[in-house]
Amino acid sequence: MIKHLRIDNRLIHGQVAVTWMNNIGADKIIVCNDKVAADPIQKMALPMAARGNTVYVFTIEETLKYAREHADETIFIIAKFPQDALEILKSGLEVERVNVGNAAPIQGTDYKMVDKSIAATAEDAVVYREIAALRGGKLGSQLTTFNEENDFLGLLAKAGL
């Protein structure tokens, strides 16, 4: 079962490897992004950043296949971009929780800071709203397990997106 789907373009870092994994109680982390999965350096480095947790670096299709074949496992997926998360949700797989984590600004894009750790473009906002529509009209954002969850659609609106 996909216990937690986090959108975080920083992928694996200390918060994810320790705090979120312990909070979720996941068996595995799957980093999900087609370009990252095609990069041999990231495929080697990301598991090392996970501090002993089992990590797979998969394309979207590989992620969907693994989740279907291992429904008995508790899986934590980190999607690099909102579009990656949307594809997972559109697949029909059960996802217990979706969380917008970090989204560092991407050079050369027309982004706005939605809060101190999340940048989004108008195109991203459309995708986030599609995600929310698949989740009963709600989408939360929580930086760490110690922070309160924010209404991400409200943050988008406040930022003019």
The catalytic residues are: 13
Place of tokens 């995600």: 131
Nearest to 36 by CA among 25, 49, 51, 19: 49
Taking the CA atoms of residue 68, residue 141, residue 136 and residue 2 in that order, the dihedral angle to the nearest 10 degrees is 10
- CA distances 133 to 28, 60, 84, 126, Å, are 27, 20, 16, 11
